[in-house]
Structure 1
Amino acid sequence: MTSTTLSTYTSYLIVNRDMKSSLDRVANQGTVARDTEYYEANIDKVTTADEFVDDYRLYSYAMKAYGLEEMTYGKAFMKKVLESDLSDTASFANSLTDKRYATMAAAFNFGTKTAEAQTSVQEDNLVKAYQDSFDQEEKDIQSEVDYYSKAIANITDVDDLLSNSRLKTYVLDSFGLDAKYTSTSYLKQVLTSDLEDPNSFANQTGSDKFVALAEAFNFQADGTVTDGDSAQTSGQIESLRLDYVYNKSTFPSDTLAAANQTYWETNISSMTSVDELVDDPRMVEYLTTAFSVKVQFTSTIRSLLTSDSAAATLGYTGVKAMFNFQSDGSIATGETAQNQTQLASTSTSYQTAFKANQEDAVTNAVTNYQTRISEVKSVDDFLSSNKDDDDDTNDDVTEIWDVALRAYGIDPADVSKSRLKDILASDPNDPKSYVNQLKDDRYVNLVKAFNFDAEGDIDTPLLVQSASVISNFATDYKTEQLKLLKGSAREKAEEAADKEIDYYNTQMQTITTAAELIADDRLVSFVLESKGIDPKSVTKDELKNMFSSDLDNPKSYVNSLANGVFAEIVASFNFDSEGNLSAQPVGTIQQRGDVLATVNNYKQQTLEEQEGESNEGVRLALYFERKAADVTSAYTILGDTALFEFFKTTFSMSDYISNMDTDQQASMIEKYVDISKLQDPDYVTKLIKQYTALYDSENSSTTSPALTLLTTTGTTRISSDTLLAVAQLSSK
């Protein structure tokens, strides 16, 4: 080295002082620009690890980007690395001592299987909506009951009743009649029929429901009510209420239990024979629930209620004792079907059994759903029945599509399986898709709750960040939080980090806009800290400018920042130009943010490589400056040949140190290097100055100017800025 040759430290400063300009200079070089253009244009076309390693330009570009250029020849080895499941600590990539391999694998999706019918958040939201639907059903039923009870008091003419669609629907629902197929004119003729006349309209319908409907009101032939009377008596209103609750309830609610109890007590007290009980399906249902009677035919129920021997044979002697029916089915004079003691005991049994059924109805449906949805691989799987024709134990299990439909307020009777299949295979983000043509938000929300592609197969969920990127951020965050910590402090930090990771994982499945992300300080802190950035150093306005930047425009706000990590962060999110969740940025085997990180790594590696061609010391100084913050122990330095070389030169260590025991080498490093200060840029700069001075000393026959400055004892020092200025002037 001659006196006119720039010192290693000065050369390092020239490159490092404006790293962005240095990297831009490298990026604009012909070969680098062409290779980068090829990589960006073709990486999204790759779908398998085989395709990737067989495309030498792509493969070698990535290998260099992650500092593995010397292993480019090992295709089979690298294929195993890339296909490793990084969530498995025992996977091939994770088992390698050199963590560069796991880092590269994390930048791709070859080993990540993310296709699933539902994410955990989608499943949780659907299950919650399903569970909430039962409370909503009760509220809706009570709301209609209250409305009807008040409004019917003002009805004096049949036309007033039928012109009110809400009242009309209530009446029809009470009798299990469909408003779609029951005309107003038909209803009017039924309601104004004289039931004492066998030729009246209601009696001629041949339907018990229409006869009962006519009996439930007091309209005369002209549609009015007699002066002083009302359209319905309080008893008729109450009877209709009990029928409405029964017919509108789709699960065993508290409201239904109370209605059934009232219905039983009202009817059992006036019953004169066992036939009246067994001929009423609702009474039979109450009885079988209260006493867990498992018989198929009403004739059998009649027998066990009237015959001691039949009850004993069937094992229902206790049930027989709850009633006072004689052997012929009649009730003795002065007796009732049940006395107060029997009625009270029956009520208690019913409430207990009903409550158990109520809990089981929801719990079993949810458990069955959660079990089966994890096995679903296609829409066909989703729509296949979970009931085995040869297994009666599954007959009462709710089908999983019924759970899903109910969660979004859809009646299974309103949509066929074939139509549902077309709906679920639709793209909710395409305005022209089948589901959007239905103009029904219920179906759109249903489709968004699942991840089926156009072929009906499960697909990778469209999230604000892909599953692999979320995992990478989580790993980086935990590494940053635990760095250099030991003992109880590390345990406490790990617990806190896990809590934040859980929050991040969950929220990343719900965020749909950049605005939502930026508004959540907890998420913002997580994102920034995972990349080693202090959240306090970035304002919300700056974040808004970053996320509204055009990543393809090199002059956009985020691309103009000195720290290229910000652009990588923005690119890691699947937002469109408007800041909304979009499938457009989603890549195949590499997400947009990982592509940008790979390109940035490639430029950095190329820069260091080119500097090393003229001065290996500059290359090593740049490398150390880049990697210092990632050093967590002396063993990190020992495991990295370049870092170990930096250490040996910096502290004038003989190569013989390599022959020492590993623990002794680690102790030696800890003696000279304060690992905890490697996060401090000033300390890192101090080590680089010392390294470059000694590097020049070892590789020069004359005294290095930098070494002279480092070892001077005088009070006057020439600053590195002055050295840089002199070097720049000398180069002109």
Structure 2
Amino acid sequence: MSFTPYVLGTGISGWTFLQRTRDQQQEIYEKSPVIDRTVQYFNQRITSVETPDQLLDDYKLLTVTLGAFGLDEDIGNRAFIKKVLESDISDPGSFANRLNDSRYQSLAETFGFNSPDGPSLPSAKAGAEFASVASPDDLLANGTLLRKALANVGMEEFEKNQFFLQKVLESDLGDPESFVNKLSNPKYAEFARQFSFNTPPVYENSIQALVGEFNEHAEGLASADDLLGDENLLQAVVDTFDLERTSPDFLRRVLNSDTTDPDSFVNQLEDKRYLAVSKAFGFGWPDINAMTDPDELLSNPEVLEHALDTFGLYGRDEDELRQILESDLSDPDSYVNQPENSAYYDFADAFQNGWPDYVSKMKVFSDEITGKLGTFTDPRELVFDSSLFEATLDIFGQSKRNLDFDTVIRAFESDLSSSTSYANLHYDTGLKAMAYAFSFNGGDTGREYPEDFAGQISELYTTRQFEIEIGESDPNMRLALAFERELQTVADAGGSENAHWYGIIGSPPLKTVFETALALPSSFGQLDVDRQVEEMKERSFSVFGTTHPADLLEDAKLDDFRNRFLMLADLNGSGNSGFSDPILALF
């Protein structure tokens, strides 16, 4: 047996009854067989939808989807809805953005079929009131939202203490030593958690994460323990080099190994990805300044190669190098002081008086790529950037491929989602790790729906269906129920004060409520849009003391506005009502 929601009375008395019984009525309504089966079907299937056509071809899924955005009447307009779903919301000229009704933009944005970010949680979800707040300064400058955020955690008395609130909001919630986590009252952390301003950035691939987290250490990493103590950087290293997440002691031994010593710990490991990461950071790099005997330097090919590379010296045999290193710098007749050998002087001087500070491969790579992150759309752009390409090969232990462009490009272009692609079948695990780190071709991995996407859409659907049922007995009560959510959606979109008013005019339910509450004539909609905005602002200030729609979300103003709407709507339609409101009789 199905249940039909109802209202007793009209205007304020009807609203009072509905507020008192709404939760119970809606719970019973959502358990009715038809609604329950429809929601279960939607929850089970919606996240498997990959294209607009798949959604449009399933009537039940489309019913819930359109119903969640208040677009039930478009259920038969397939071609129109398809154009909406295929719209690029980031393009102001796209089909959905040219429509006056903001519900279509919300639909297109939520499913994101033509967005690189894919699906997102519905912006119309009640409770997303702080979506437009991007920084602590944004919140502290908006008294309405600040009061709401403080009220959510019972901290209203702190409204004027903005210095304290700024420090709370800027705290790293994940750091036990941060300002907010050292405070005894858990409400402060709860307040900051509503925004989580100080959260790690979102990276597109592990290379971005590696470089981004490495660059957080402006003074560089002094030791392996510095790296192991930074959880975000450590995870980026593990992901970039495709390592197993093992014990800190194991990784410390890897990182501290002398990679130039064939008998060192890391050189005994079969998996050469650990050798690559050890070389990249160079914590175990030997102290070249301690090599005072030419034979010590000449007997270490890796250190010697690095030293020669530093001074641009290549192709010298051991005898000539020994003669350079042993030259008397003060003797004008020595080997390095001959006019034809002047390039050797700096090399000999470094050996005898001190080498330049060692710069790790990771530092060189970071310096090369930092300004170019996110700019590569084709792997050839990276491969043919010679200095960056060389630095990239160095940190992945792939220096042998410095002229092997075809192999690297094939690996980068491989479909990483296919187990039989070139990169996934290649014997060289370092090459595979490099391909995954940049992820030029992630392949067809399917759309990723946010957690609770189905739950939030179906909740919007059941809420709106409940409102529709209420509207069957009293259309004004339906508008009153939806008012806060619809106005919150406009506020969440951000923008200027006028932008909020344009959003209201573009939302049929809100436009009706505002025109009624502000006692605007039926011909009002024929005015120029800018004139409508100015008139609404003037009347809003006259009646409610504010020209900013977001201020009406404050609890007191919200109640005043809704009550005024219900009274005026009831007065305008009282002749057609079968109920009598004793409060309205006073008017």
TM-score (norm 1): 0.44
The one-letter code matched in structure 1 to 2:581 is S
CA deviation map 1:115-171 (0-9, x unaligned) = 9xx954523345579999xx999999xxxxxxxxxxxxxxxxxxxxxxxxx999859
Among 76, 87, 100, the alignment partner of 2:79 is 76
CA deviation map 1:614-658 (0-9, x unaligned) = 111211111223323436544333333322322333344431333
Find the counterpart in structure 2 of residue 612 from structure 1: 471
Find the counterpart in structure 1 of residue 536 from structure 2: 669
Find the counterpart in structure 1 of residue 154 from structure 2: none
**Cα distance, 1:339–1:76 mapped onto 2, change above 3 Å:** same
Find the counterpart in structure 2 of residue 45 from structure 1: 48
Among 242, 255, 260, the alignment partner of 2:298 is 242
**1:123 correspondence with 2:204:** no
CA distance in 2, matches of 1:679, 1:168: 63
CA distance in 2, matches of 1:672, 1:81: 35
Find the counterpart in structure 2 of residue 637 from structure 1: 504
Find the counterpart in structure 1 of residue 582 from structure 2: 705
The one-letter code matched in structure 2 to 1:458 is G
CA deviation map 1:420-466 (0-9, x unaligned) = 979x9889xxxxxx99xx9x9x89976863558xxx85356xxxxxx
CA contact (8 A) 1:81 1:101 kept: yes
Find the counterpart in structure 1 of residue 135 from structure 2: none
**1:267 correspondence with 2:329:** no
CA distance in 1, matches of 2:99, 2:452: 25
CA distance in 1, matches of 2:553, 2:391: 53
CA distance in 2, matches of 1:348, 1:169: 24
**Cα distance, 1:266–1:610 mapped onto 2, change above 3 Å:** same
Question: How far did residue 238 of structure 1 move?
Answer: 2.8
**Cα distance, 1:251–1:621 mapped onto 2, change above 3 Å:** farther
CA distance in 2, matches of 1:30, 1:683: 38
Among 576, 580, 593, the alignment partner of 2:452 is 593
* SS of structure 2 residue aligned to 1:86: coil
Question: How far did residue 602 of structure 1 move?
Answer: 0.5
CA contact (8 A) 1:65 1:598 kept: yes
**Cα distance, 1:362–1:599 mapped onto 2, change above 3 Å:** closer
CA distance in 1, matches of 2:473, 2:298: 93
CA contact (8 A) 1:261 1:347 kept: no
Matches within 5 A, 1:401-420: 406-407=394-395
Among 505, 522, 536, the alignment partner of 1:655 is 522
Question: How far did residue 660 of structure 1 move?
Answer: 3.7
Find the counterpart in structure 2 of residue 31 from structure 1: 34
**1:86 correspondence with 2:74:** no
CA distance in 1, matches of 2:11, 2:396: 68
* SS of structure 2 residue aligned to 1:90: coil
CA deviation map 1:194-213 (0-9, x unaligned) = xxxxxxxxxxxxxxxxxxxx
Question: How far did residue 599 of structure 1 move?
Answer: 0.9
**Cα distance, 1:351–1:366 mapped onto 2, change above 3 Å:** farther
Structure 2 residue runs of 5 or longer lacking an equivalent are 1-6, 119-201, 225-256, 270-289, 402-406, 418-423, 492-496, 541-545
Matches within 5 A, 1:676-695: 676=548, 677-695=551-569
Q: RMSD of aligned C-alpha atoms?
A: 5.7
* SS of structure 2 residue aligned to 1:592: coil
TM-score (norm 2): 0.53
CA distance in 2, matches of 1:44, 1:167: 50
Find the counterpart in structure 1 of residue 236 from structure 2: none
User: What count of residue pairs does the alignment treat as equivalent?
Assistant: 400
Q: Percent identity?
A: 20
The one-letter code matched in structure 1 to 2:298 is L
CA distance in 1, matches of 2:336, 2:431: 50
**Cα distance, 1:367–1:703 mapped onto 2, change above 3 Å:** closer
Which of 1 and 2 has greater Rg? 1
CA distance in 1, matches of 2:395, 2:21: 57
**Cα distance, 1:252–1:638 mapped onto 2, change above 3 Å:** farther
Question: How far did residue 111 of structure 1 move?
Answer: 0.9
CA distance in 2, matches of 1:351, 1:75: 79
* SS of structure 1 residue aligned to 2:504: helix
* SS of structure 2 residue aligned to 1:6: coil
The one-letter code matched in structure 2 to 1:407 is I
**Cα distance, 1:620–1:345 mapped onto 2, change above 3 Å:** closer
The one-letter code matched in structure 1 to 2:51 is T
Question: How far did residue 690 of structure 1 move?
Answer: 2.1
CA distance in 2, matches of 1:251, 1:125: 30
**Cα distance, 1:238–1:82 mapped onto 2, change above 3 Å:** same
**1:347 correspondence with 2:403:** no
Question: How far did residue 687 of structure 1 move?
Answer: 2.0
CA contact (8 A) 1:650 1:691 kept: yes
CA contact (8 A) 1:9 1:618 kept: no
**Cα distance, 1:708–1:124 mapped onto 2, change above 3 Å:** same
CA contact (8 A) 2:68 2:458 kept: yes
The one-letter code matched in structure 2 to 1:637 is I
Find the counterpart in structure 2 of residue 301 from structure 1: none
* SS of structure 2 residue aligned to 1:449: helix
The one-letter code matched in structure 2 to 1:669 is M
CA contact (8 A) 1:83 1:105 kept: yes
Question: How far did residue 108 of structure 1 move?
Answer: 0.9
CA distance in 1, matches of 2:585, 2:395: 77
CA contact (8 A) 1:7 1:705 kept: no
Among 444, 467, 481, the alignment partner of 1:622 is 481
CA deviation map 1:58-83 (0-9, x unaligned) = 11221111112222333222222212
**Cα distance, 1:404–1:13 mapped onto 2, change above 3 Å:** farther
Find the counterpart in structure 1 of residue 443 from structure 2: 458
The one-letter code matched in structure 2 to 1:244 is N
The one-letter code matched in structure 2 to 1:64 is G
**Cα distance, 1:664–1:90 mapped onto 2, change above 3 Å:** closer
CA distance in 2, matches of 1:339, 1:595: 78
Find the counterpart in structure 1 of residue 12 from structure 2: 9
CA deviation map 1:229-269 (0-9, x unaligned) = xxxxx9995313234155664686659979x9998574159
CA deviation map 1:665-706 (0-9, x unaligned) = 333322322343312121121122222223333333486313
Question: How far did residue 339 of structure 1 move?
Answer: 4.5
CA distance in 2, matches of 1:590, 1:679: 30
Find the counterpart in structure 2 of residue 522 from structure 1: none
Matches within 5 A, 1:292-307: none
CA distance in 2, matches of 1:370, 1:252: 30
CA contact (8 A) 2:311 2:347 kept: no
The one-letter code matched in structure 1 to 2:567 is A
Question: How far did residue 104 of structure 1 move?
Answer: 0.8
CA distance in 1, matches of 2:319, 2:469: 90
CA contact (8 A) 2:203 2:209 kept: no
CA contact (8 A) 1:64 1:602 kept: yes
The one-letter code matched in structure 2 to 1:81 is V
CA distance in 1, matches of 2:310, 2:215: 14
CA distance in 2, matches of 1:405, 1:596: 46
* SS of structure 1 residue aligned to 2:116: coil
Q: Which has the higher contact order (CA 8 A, sep 6+)?
A: 2
**Cα distance, 1:89–1:656 mapped onto 2, change above 3 Å:** closer
**Cα distance, 1:251–1:610 mapped onto 2, change above 3 Å:** farther
CA distance in 2, matches of 1:138, 1:412: 29
CA contact (8 A) 1:694 1:707 kept: no
**Cα distance, 1:97–1:371 mapped onto 2, change above 3 Å:** closer
